[in-house]
Amino acid sequence: MSNETRHDSIGIGVEYGADWDFGDAPGWSETDYEGSRWERIGPLTENGRTAILKHFGLQTVAEKLPLDVLVRTSPEMLLSFGEKPAAVAVA
């Protein structure tokens, strides 16, 4: 397992996630682990928004990032808010 922190793929559960620019879908979308690979399951929902805000440590400014804004906000922009993101280990 790597100690690399990823900010473009956020785990919401064991087989569920939120990904930035997944495939041909611009912005954040929700993904699901199907068989042996991740698949886009649809646009970002409130569950995905909550997970992204938590990952980036942005719960205190959540009102400034409603779903329609967050879905278009890149990981780099979210990092620029100055909050310390949660570390996410990836394999």
pLDDT over threshold 80, residue 89: no
Mean pLDDT within 5-19: 68
Q: Report pLDDT digits (tens) over 46-66.
A: 989 998 999 889 999 999 999
> What are the boundaries of each domain within the chain?
2-90
For every residue of 29-90, DSSP letters joined together read EEEEEETTEEEEEEE--HHHHHHHHHHTT-GGGGGGS-HHHHTT--HHHHHTT-PPPPP-EE
Of the ranges 5-14, 25-34, 47-56, 58-67, which one carries the lowest mean pLDDT score?
5-14
pTM: 0.74
